[in-house]
Amino acid sequence: MFDEIAPRYDLLNHLLSFGVDCRWRRAAARAALDRSPRRVLDVATGTGDLAILLKRLCPEAQVVGLDFAPRMLRRARKKAARAGVRIEFVEGDALAMPFPDGSFDALTVAFGFRNFADYEAGLREFYRVLAPGGRAVILEFPPPPRRAFGRLVRFYYHRVLPALGGMISGSPEAYRYLPESVERFPEPRAMAAMMARAGFTPRVRLLTGGLAGLFIGDKGA
């Protein structure tokens, strides 16, 4: 599914979020780079937007992008070359990453975590590849807030987004899947508890009225 939508993925991200996804990624990058990490891993990197931003904001850091969709990675490599930044893009499974324990000082994932088959296993794997004192930053869509604003968001997710996304990408199934995956995602408090069980000290920051959330987990030194 992700390979199928790769050619229109960037356009639709910006269009369907009215461009605010760029601001969310910048917030995630700043949180990840807060401790001046030397080695940064961007998981579920897709077409590389966050990995490229991380490298631009912290040129001295080694940045690696991991994804399991080959067509997404091909686009990421081309984008990084056009941007003039050096990033290693690796094909691999986020639940069994091809890196030794403690390989990275910071780890990010933007809008990919909710697609994991097993959230708990993903968090344990994040914890494993992070060095002591490392930080994981997960940017994700929590279930829409309640009351009137939440009803408006759900209408957009379930009615407008699948129709528009399907028409532009040619894959309506992918954009019907998106709202379903958002609804299945844990509430912020439950997500923080899950991170704590994996060993992290968690912190949650909601963005744009709760449309997106930053889930920050620090690994003890």
Domains and CATH numbers, the chain: 2-143+185-218 (3.40.50.150)
Q: For residue 40, give Cα distances in angstroms to 45, 51, 93, 184.
A: 12, 9, 17, 28
d(CA 24, CA 9): 17
Per residue of the chain (221 residues), what is the pLDDT tens digit? Answer: 565 554 555 545 554 555 688 899 999 999 999 999 999 999 999 999 999 999 999 999 999 999 999 999 999 999 999 999 999 999 999 999 999 999 999 999 999 999 899 999 999 999 999 999 999 999 998 888 777 676 777 777 667 666 666 665 566 666 666 777 778 899 999 999 999 999 999 999 999 888 899 999 999 98
Cα 35 to Cα 162: distance, rounded to the nearest angstrom: 39
| pLDDT for the residue numbered 177 | 63
Q: Which pLDDT score, from 0 to 100, does residue 149 have?
A: 72
Reference 66, options 35, 108, 117; nearest CA is 108
Instruction: Provide the sign of the torsion angle of the four alpha carbons 150, 116, 164, 79, taken in this order.
Output: positive
Query: Cβ distance 100 to 69 under 8 Å?
Result: no
- pTM recorded for the entire structure: 0.85
